[in-house]
């Protein structure tokens, strides 16, 4: 008898879980709240662990062809001076695979193309979920409600997860971390920029080349809660427009500047599983982006869940395998954020910069790369 899985949320983690479960024999349905999927978001960096997960899902080759392999980069100061540099290929030598910069919309489309026909249902507002696998959705337009009973329900519906809210009412709400982030993608780059991070007191700017001659960039700034929105591009230019080249050029060349007031699940969940329901990705362990592991951890969740879900103790095994690691990565991301972008005391900033200068780049690389040194289980 075919087992059925309903995945709530059609983002990267939800689609990856659907693909993995389908590959292991499940009949899958993905319920996505938005009525029509559009290319959205900016870029992300797929590290070795995420790329290996995509290989396990059968889409790694296409991801690599649509992505841009890591190049020489490092950490700089706003005037352009280098604190540390890492040559191209060192990450690949350390882990056996390079990091890949890719537009989030491109990765999303690759995953959509790998779904079984008819698996995605858009405009599906989930209004009720129970531990025994009942999922009630409200049909768009008519308002009628429709309930199905699944062998497995996956809450992959993001940091403000309706599934988590329904079944984990005791869980703490997401916490604002005191940082606003802006993201953008340039239409076309005129030269190859150097990938890397630039640090200032309470601010940072990152540059990631993409495969289609565009550049993904992000900026982050310590901010008080509740600051009003406005002309976000102008605000980024005001704060970062005098930093080293090509930062002003990248901001000027960007049409749409996205803003996010960063939040995370600071209080770890005691379990990712209740009854037939499992949480993954941001619904389970939303983290700050300072290690670049958010999307990669969601991919790990998806592959591990697909590998163990058929077992009698499948969801307990998933929780046992995923919760300690993902929460450890989330905690480390928070710590790196405090040391890097969020650090604002001038004495502490000077001490940090001096430490980075004298730390051998390979040692620093190993300390960061240990989070990406992970291998997924096989789905064959």
Dump pLDDT digits (tens) for 266-282.
999 999 999 999 999 99
pLDDT at position 361 is: 65
What is the domain partition of the chain in residue ranges?
4-69+102-174+264-341
CA–CA separation, 57 and 23 (whole Å): 8
For residues 338 and 17, which has the higher predicted lDDT (pLDDT)?
Answer: 17
pLDDT at position 364 is: 61
For domain 4-69+102-174+264-341, give its CATH number from 3.50.50.60, 3.40.50.11400, 3.30.428.10, 3.40.50.10600.
3.50.50.60
DSSP string over 204-270: EEEEEE-TTS-EEEEEEEE--TTPPP--HHHHHHHHHTTSSTTHHHHHHH-S--EEEEEEE--S--S
Torsion of CA 192, 193, 195, 199, to 10 degrees: 180
Q: Is the pLDDT of residue 189 over 90?
A: no
CA–CA separation, 23 and 366 (whole Å): 34
279 DSSP assignment: E
Mean pLDDT of 163-176: 95
CA–CA separation, 43 and 69 (whole Å): 13
Least confident of 64-68, 175-179, 188-192: 188-192
Binning pLDDT at 50, 70 and 90, where does residue 357 land?
confident
H/E segment holding residue 92: helix 90-95
pLDDT at position 14 is: 97
Tell whether omega for the bond before 329 is within 30 degrees of 0, i.e. cis. no
CA–CA separation, 28 and 8 (whole Å): 11
Least confident of 71-85, 161-175, 210-224, 315-329: 71-85
Q: Is the pLDDT of residue 259 over 80?
A: yes
Sheet holding 100-103, edge to edge: 43-46, 100-103, 68-69
Binning pLDDT at 50, 70 and 90, where does residue 7 land?
very high
Binning pLDDT at 50, 70 and 90, where does residue 75 land?
confident
Q: What is the pLDDT of residues 314-328, one digit of tens each?
A: 999 999 999 999 999
Percent of the chain at pLDDT > 70 equals 91
Q: Taking all residues of the chain, what is their mean pLDDT, rounded to a whole number? A: 89
């Amino acid at each position: 008898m075919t087992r059925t899985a309903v995945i709530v949320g059609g983002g990267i983690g939800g689609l990856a879980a659907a693909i993995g479960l389908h590959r292991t024999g499940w009949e899958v349905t993905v319920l996505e709240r938005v009525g029509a999927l559009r290319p959205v978001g900016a870029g992300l960096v797929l590290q070795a662990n995420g790329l290996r997960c995509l290989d396990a899902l059968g889409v790694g080759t296409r991801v690599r062809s649509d992505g841009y392999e890591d190049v020489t980069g490092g950490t700089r100061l706003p005037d352009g001076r280098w604190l540390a540099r890492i040559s191209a290929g060192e990450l690949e030598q350390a882990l056996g695979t390079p990091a890949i910069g890719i537009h989030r919309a491109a990765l999303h489309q690759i995953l959509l193309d790998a779904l079984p026909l008819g698996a995605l249902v858009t405009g599906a507002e989930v209004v009720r979920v129970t531990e025994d696998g009942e999922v009630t959705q409200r049909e768009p337009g008519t308002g009628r409600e429709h309930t199905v009973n699944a062998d497995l329900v996956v809450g992959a519906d993001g940091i403000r997860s309706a599934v988590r809210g329904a079944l984990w009412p005791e869980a703490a709400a997401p916490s604002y971390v005191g940082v606003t982030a802006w993201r953008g993608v340039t239409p076309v780059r005129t030269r190859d920029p150097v990938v890397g991070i630039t640090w200032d007191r309470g601010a940072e700017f990152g540059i990631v080349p993409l495969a289609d001659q565009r550049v993904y960039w992000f900026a982050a700034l310590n901010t008080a809660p509740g600051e009003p929105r406005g002309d976000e591009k102008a605000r980024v230019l005001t704060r970062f427009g005098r930093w080293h080249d090509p930062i002003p050029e990248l901001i000027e060349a960007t049409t749409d500047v996205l803003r996010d007031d960063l939040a995370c699940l600071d209080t770890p969940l005691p379990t990712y599983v209740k009854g037939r329901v499992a949480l993954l990705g941001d619904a389970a362990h939303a983290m700050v982006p300072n290690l670049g592991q958010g999307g990669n951890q969601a991919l790990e969740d998806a592959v591990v869940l697909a590998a163990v879900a058929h077992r009698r103790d499948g969801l307990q095994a998933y929780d046992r395998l995923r919760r300690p690691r993902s929460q450890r990565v989330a905690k480390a991301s928070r710590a790196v954020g405090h040391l890097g972008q969020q650090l604002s005391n001038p004495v502490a900033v000077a001490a940090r910069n001096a430490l980075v200068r004298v730390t051998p780049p390979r040692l620093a690389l190993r300390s960061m790369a240990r989070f990406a040194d992970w291998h997924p289980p096989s789905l064959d």
